[in-house]
Amino acid sequence: MGGTSPSHYRCRVNDQAAPVETADAPPTFADLGLGDAVLKALKDVGYESPSTIQAETIPPLLAGRDLVGLAQTGTGKTAAFALPILDRLDVRQKSVQALVLAPTRELALQVCEAFQKYAAQTKGVHVLPVYGGQAYGVQLSALRRGVHIVVGTPGRIMDHLEKGTLDLTELKFLVLDEADEMLNMGFAEDVETILADTPDDKQVALFSATMPTQIRRLSKQYLKDPVQIDVKGKTQTANNITQRYMIVSYPQKADALTRILETENFEGMIVFVRTKNETELLAEKLRARGFSAQAINGDVAQVQRERTVNQLKAGKLDILVATDVAARGLDVERISHVVNFDIPTDTESYVHRIGRTGRAGRSGDAISFVTPRERYLLKHIEKATRQSLTEMRLPSVEDVNTTRLARFDDAITEALSRGSEVETFRDVVAHYVRNHDVPEVDVAAALAIVAQGDTPLLLDPAAERARPTFDDRGAKGKGGKSDDDRFDRGQRRPRHDTGKPMKAYKIQVGKRHKVEPRQIVGAIANEGGLSRGDFGSIKIQPDFSVVELPADLSPEVWKKLENTRISGKLIELSEDRGPRGSRPPSHSSSSSSPEEGGSFKKPRHKRPSDD
């Protein structure tokens, strides 16, 4: 966005418009009445024709009408509301003019980057993502400097409104994105409060995949004579592509990918991530682990991009780590696998991604990493594509070692075919045997040790068993039930001895906050970077809960958990002092964030966490 957005705002966009197929020539974005700056930005990102939802939605929004858009995720609705907002924005006015509410941080970040891309030719536009889990200081600094568009989750928006740090008195546009998902996640009261507390003359656009009774009531109560647009998504994936997914926590994705690379029989592969920065980081990790990998993203020069793609085609490179934009239009028959390292938040992007494999009638494989919080995205994809994805298990140590041994055997077989060289080294080995009186098989074993170098040929099963298992991180266990399904209401017993020192910690949420063990595990594991194997017993009391966690929690983990919320309330993690400390403190504990002053105003109501 012309360099106006701070570099620490990590956002992404997958919302490329699909052409509208009509008997006549498809409309252009210029036909819809958009201004020159927005049209130039669209041309720069490669958009040619508006999708159906964009063609039908943009004109009434430009005319100032309220609108209800019924469309599946992935039909291009982000651009449908972002473009009219940018076209009518007054950049001279430094107050917040547009607010977009999204159900998750991932979607908020995606919408944020969409605005930034579309505003690239409009000088001075400032967009701020606001979501749980990010430090308040970052958001407060940006709000003080002046922001035109805020994209956020309902819970964090409510927090800012209650603190008086977000002023919406000059708001002109309000968008509810994925409204049905927000209501399903328990944000109904927050959404209604925000709608009621914003200016009456604002323009409201509501987008939803379905039209349940609650959405219909919201529309009738808060929208003025809205236009209703109903678009059926047409998303289909090729039948020759095998689609699988794996449930895995974010911190363990790199290890999971490494095991897949070790055990899958692939030729060429594209690994999709959300941001340009992540392409470089992941490619570097893969190279450090011995894989031939390069990154391509929007910042890579065209000459370098072409050189990298040609290396992939020629077999000199095996893995591309890419963003959606960088891989657009990429057609390489050698690509046998696509891995969604970060699962896309829209189905259209998913279809485009996995379409990079299975080219020219060949079969292909698509594997998607899904964190426990992203299961709903998996359901969206299956519903939109009308195809079920098969769950796959993390390849075990035995699987990896079997594959390594097979490749080692193949290397020996190939070497034995090189006659003259074999003769030369046979003499060398025979000389060693005669002079040192060592069996030939021992010499061969010693040479294998020399050949493996510093990296052992085989993984150590004992060392791997000591690590938390991927099954502990949210994958389904036996009988098809997830770990969450095994939690008793109000308490959780450890599934096995973790083998590590544990300590009791107290958090200031309990039964009166309507929390369950699964919420505690999910929030702390996600924000603190812990695995489910790091949790012992959980006992939920009326006003607080006691959680067993590793005794040696690092300062980094403590810092990450400072702003963690469950059911809209700070957990205020502290060491449990036993019966004397069983009553919740009257003020914030030492784990409270200093920048927040150690306390919060009492919320108007209990609400779900959007962290």
**Banded model confidence at residue 592, pLDDT cuts 50, 70, 90:** very low
DSSP secondary structure letter of residue 326:
T
Closest of 140, 146, 148, 151 to residue 114, by C-alpha:
151
pLDDT at position 329: 61
pLDDT at 293: 94
Indicate the pLDDT class of residue 435, thresholds 50, 70 and 90: confident
Joined together, the tokens standing for residue 530 give 């812990």
According to DSSP, residue 197 is labeled T
Domain ranges (residues) in the chain: 30-230, 241-394, 398-461, 476-596
CA distance 383 to 364: 21
Least confident of 96-105, 268-277, 486-495: 486-495
- Measure the CA–CA gap between 578 and 490, rounded to whole angstroms: 19
Reported as a single tens digit per residue, the pLDDT across 171-203 is 999 999 989 888 877 888 899 999 988 999 999
Ranked by mean pLDDT, which of 62-76, 165-179, 379-393 comes out on top?
A: 165-179
> What letter would DSSP give residue 530?
-
Q: Is the dihedral of CA 232, 238, 239, 243 positive or negative?
A: negative
116 touches 127 (CB < 8 A): yes
Report the candidate in 105, 71, 96 with the shortest Cα–Cα distance to residue 150. Answer: 96
Q: How many CA atoms lie within 13 A of 61 on its CB side?
A: 33
Residues 366/376, Cβ–Cβ less than 8 Å: no
Asked if 97 contacts 125 with a C-beta cutoff of 8 angstroms, the reply is no
With the C-alpha atoms ordered 179, 183, 186, 188, is the resulting torsion angle positive or negative? positive
The rounded distance, in Å, linking the Cα atoms of 51 and 83 is 13
Whether the per-residue pLDDT at 12 is higher than 80: the answer is no
DSSP secondary structure letters along 332-374: -TTEEEEEESS--SSHHHHHHHHTTSSGGG--EEEEEEE-GGG
Other beta carbons less than 10 A from residue 489's beta carbon:
10
pLDDT for 463: 55
Q: Are 516 and 563 in contact (CB under 8 A)?
A: no
Q: What percent of the chain has pLDDT over 70?
A: 80
* Stretch 75-90: mean pLDDT: 91
What is the distance between the alpha carbons of residues 144 and 3, in angstroms, rounded to a whole number? Answer: 18
Domain spanning 241-394: CATH 3.40.50.300:
yes
CB atoms within 10 A of CB 399: 15
Beta strands in 203-292 (DSSP E): 203-208, 227-230, 241-247, 268-272
The span from the CA of 203 to the CA of 65, in Å, is 7
**CATH numeric code, 30-230:** 3.40.50.300
- Structure confidence at residue 87 as a pLDDT band (50, 70, 90): very high
The answer to which of 269-273, 346-350, 463-467, 588-592 has the lowest mean pLDDT is 588-592
Q: Domain 476-596 belongs to what topology?
A: Alpha-Beta Plaits (3.30.70)
What are all long-range contacts of 355-358, with beta carbons under 8 Å and residues at least 24 apart?
Answer: 355/237, 355/238, 355/241, 356/270, 356/327, 356/330, 356/331, 356/332, 357/241, 357/270, 358/238, 358/240, 358/241
Evaluate whether 30-230 and 476-596 have a shared fold: no
Q: Which residues of 363-397 are buried (b: 16+ CB within 10 A; e: fewer)?
A: ebbbbbbbbbbbebbbebbeebbeeebeeeebbbb
What's the pLDDT at 8?
A: 33
**DSSP type of residue 252:** G
Torsion of CA 60, 62, 68, 69, to 10 degrees: 90
What does the mean pLDDT of the chain come to? Answer: 79
